[in-house]
Amino acid sequence: MFVRFALSAKLHFSREITPEAVEAIETAVQEANRQLFRRGTPSGAPEEQIGRITRWQVNASALALDIESGPFTRAHDALFRFRKHIAQVLGRYRLGVREISIAAFRITMPGPIPDEAIPKLPFIRQVRRQDGAVELDLLFSASDLEGRVPDRLVRLIEEKKEALTYGGKAEHWELIYESEQRPRVYAGDPTQEMIERGWIRHGASRGQWIFAPQAVHLFRAFEAIVMDHVIRPLGFSEMVFPKLVPWEVWMRSGHAKGVYPEIYYVCTPKTRDPAYWEDIGDYFKVTGVVPVEEIRKRIDGPIGGMCYAQCPPFWPFVQGETLANSCLPIRVFDRSGTSHRYESGGIHGIERVDEFHRIEVLWLGTAEQTIAIADELHEAYRHIFDDILELEWRSAKVTPWFMAQEGLVGESADAAIGTRDYEAVLPYSGTWLEFQNVSVNGDKYPKGFNVKIQSGAECWSGCSGIGLERWTAAFLAQKGFDTSDWPETVAKLAGEPQEIFTFL
């Protein structure tokens, strides 16, 4: 049992095919079936698994072909190989290939394949089940075939089938380090108390907070600790990454495979001509209502979304480049703005929000350099959480974030590649909160954005997201609001909470 491809196509020539040319086609077809299609196939591959032209017919200026194959020299590959060959042969008769049209394309996959494994895609016209196999009738253009869409479709169905069969494959979680336990000095939910104390208030948008000076002082204290103990000693330089991420970036980062339910989408006006928009403003002036449905008709896009993972929009800076050995490893970070995720029902306090603030640390170099920097970071973070913040925390190897964000579970095949989550216990709920991560992302990003290293060594990268809301939630949940209970460095950096609003 093996996957089968069958297609009917027509090669349209520049003019009527002459009888001499028909003879040349006959020979070319035989040669193709005997030799051309065998090229590159495993030796000993059974004949029925290799592409072959099973029927051909000339009608005026068109050559109709039926091609069938198993997994080797797949029907669509055979078609383009043959086109190249026949173009040479018929060139002698001053006949050129003008166009290829695809009349039918069928993929037969051996079963059992559950219905849910068959994607709902516009070019799947019919799905039939036959002797345990699945037959797909497909509507493809020649450029779909040239772009290898059939191969990706087969792979997708296999992946979906596998995910369904091994659906139990769990989110990976493997304990790496556990700190000592710390005395419990506070049992409240810090978000509640921050609200009561006037440190934060809900923003107008969902999952969004407005942070007052007291909270921001704490953010800045944490930032200062990160600067003093991570960024400066390890030599990271500040950059500013874009916060609007177009599809071009997410196509290369892999987010385009599955991040849709969580994106904050971004649209652009069809025109910036004020006259085009005047009535929209007028409508609001008169009614006090923003005519959202009407606006929807006058915008283009979405062109992408707001920053989601923070590091992907860095990559166009190095895209297509070869990096000199002498500049490696590159170490940078960004703290220039927010990340946004549509969290639906999951919003909780300041821990799980739609809009959050994070310092994103990013590095790239050879595999050895990338792994070494991740180790340096782990050591620096351990020092901060054990000795400076005095937290009760642990770290665990988890499903890599870049896999999770594509909708995958499990682990990377390479043990050196992966994400380590840092978690802190929240005494008020007894649960653990992931407050930052460190990842070795392997060659995923350099490959996706076509970045190379002068020496020819494989380019790898890593990143680490430091969540300021999460640090705050973890710290306050464990240390409470009495600054005399706080570790000295934090108390000194944050200063006494400053009240600047008086509400009557």
463 binds ligand SER (CB under 6 A): yes
223 in active site:
no
The 3-state DSSP composition of the chain as helix, strand, coil percent (nearest 5) reads 35, 30, 35
CB nearer to ligand SER: pick between 200 and 311: 311
Q: Which of 33, 108, 399, 437 binds ligand SER (CB under 6 A)?
A: 437
Contacts of 478 (CB under 8 A, 6+ apart): 182, 184, 185, 186, 391, 392, 424, 425, 426, 427
What residues form DSSP beta bridges with 468?
none
Site for ligand SER contains 360 (CB under 6 A): yes
Q: Which is nearer to ligand SER, 251 or 290 (CB)?
A: 251
The DSSP output letter for 52 is E
Decide if 311 is catalytic. Answer: yes
311 binds Zn ion (CB under 5 A): yes
Nearest approach, Cβ of residue 393 and Zn ion (Å): 20
463 near Zn ion, rule: CB under 5 A: yes
Question: Using an 8 Å Cβ cutoff, are 17 and 89 in contact?
Answer: no
Q: How far apart are CA 409 and CA 109, in angstroms?
A: 25
Evaluate whether 446 touches 457 at the Cβ level (below 8 Å): no
Least distance from ligand SER to the Cβ atom of residue 157, Å: 29
> Position of tokens 């050995």?
325
Q: Which is nearer to Zn ion, 158 or 434 (CB)?
A: 434
**Which one of 33, 73, 253, 310 is in contact with ligand SER (CB under 6 A)?**
310
Q: Does residue 360 have an active-site annotation?
A: yes
CB 444 within 8 A of CB 464: no
Region of 79-87, 198-206, 319-327, 459-467 interacting with Zn ion (CB under 5 A) = 459-467
Q: If contact means CB under 5 to 8 A according to the sort of partner, which of Zn ion, ligand SER, none does residue 437 touch?
A: ligand SER
Cβ-proximal residues to 315 (8 Å cutoff; 6+ apart), any chain: 249, 252, 253, 445, 448, 449, 451
* 400 belongs to the binding site for ligand SER (CB under 6 A): no
Active site residue 463: yes
Cα atoms in the 13 Å half-sphere on the side-chain side of 399: 13
Question: Is there a catalytic annotation at residue 34?
Answer: no
Min CB(329)–ligand SER separation in Å: 18
Convert 344-381 to b/e letters by CB count within 10 Å (16 or more is b): eeeeebbbbbbbbbbbbbbbbbbbebbbebbeebbebb
Whichever of 350 and 463 has its CB closer to ligand SER, that residue is 463
Tell whether residue 3 is a contact of ligand SER (CB under 6 A): no
**Pairing mode, if any, of strands 173-178 and 209-211?**
unpaired
Give catalytic status of residue 375 as yes or no: no
Among 360, 392, 411, 423, the active-site one is 360
- Nearer to Zn ion by C-beta: 263 or 463? 463
Where do contacts with Zn ion occur on this chain (CB under 5 A)?
Answer: 311, 463
Known catalytic residues? 311, 341, 343, 352, 360, 421, 434, 437, 463, 470
Where do contacts with ligand SER occur on this chain (CB under 6 A)?
Answer: 309-311, 360, 401, 437, 463, 465
